[in-house]
Structure formats: structure tokens, C-alpha cells
């Protein structure tokens, strides 16, 4: 099973660029079902927390996201609580 590719540096950069924010919301479309996904990312001491969706990968042009429904069907995606720095 291939590991999801999520670039921690890309997440850190988002928070660095917006230092007044504790939660960043990424609005994207689900890579599987094409519905709108709003992923709330919170920076925690141990890494990052995700709510509302999951991140599949970080690309230079943006994040690939998946909605929670599709994530449950195919769980080969990244969930925030697995992510530590």
C-alpha cells in the first residue's frame, strides 16, 4: 500500500504565511467524487489536525483532498492525527 504523500513543509508554510490564524481552511474538490471539500487544518504541538476532509497529497499548485465519505470507502489517505513532525 502506497503511503500518502503530504508535505509537512507545505503545511508549515501555510501557517507561516498567515501567522495570525490558528485554523486554515482549504477549499477544494474531492478527488474521487468531485464534491466540494472544506478541510480545516489546525496547527498542534504534535503536528496538524484535520477536520471536514482529508489531504491526499500536496502539489505545487495546491492540495489534493478527499471528502470524509470517500475517505471511509478508501482509507489510503492522510488523517491529521497520524501526522507528527
Q: Helices (H), strands (E): how many in the chain?
A: 2, 5
How far apart CA 4 and CA 67 sit, in angstroms, is 15
The least CB distance from residue 4 to Zn ion, in Å, is 15
Is residue 56 part of the contact set for Zn ion (CB under 5 A)? no
Is residue 64 part of the contact set for Zn ion (CB under 5 A)? no
Please select the residue that binds Zn ion; options are 33, 62, 72, 84, rule is CB under 5 A: 33
Q: How many CB atoms neighbour CB 76 within 10 A?
A: 11
* Residue closest to 70 by CA, chosen among 39, 28, 32, 27: 32
The least CB distance from residue 61 to Zn ion, in Å, is 20
Is residue 67 part of the contact set for Zn ion (CB under 5 A)? yes
Chain residues in the site for Zn ion (CB under 5 A): 30, 32-33, 67, 70
Amino acid at each position: 500500500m502506497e503511503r500518502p504523500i503530504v508535505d509537512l513543509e507545505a503545511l508549515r508554510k501555510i501557517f507561516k504565511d498567515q501567522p495570525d490564524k490558528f485554523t486554515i481552511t482549504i477549499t477544494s474538490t474531492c478527488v474521487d467524487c468531485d464534491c466540494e471539500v472544506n478541510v480545516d487544518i489546525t496547527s498542534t504541538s504534535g503536528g496538524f489536525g484535520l477536520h471536514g476532509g482529508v489531504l491526499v497529497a500536496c502539489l505545487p499548485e495546491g492540495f489534493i483532498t478527499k471528502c470524509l465519505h470517500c475517505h471511509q470507502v478508501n482509507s489510503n489517505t492522510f488523517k491529521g492525527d497520524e501526522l507528527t513532525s
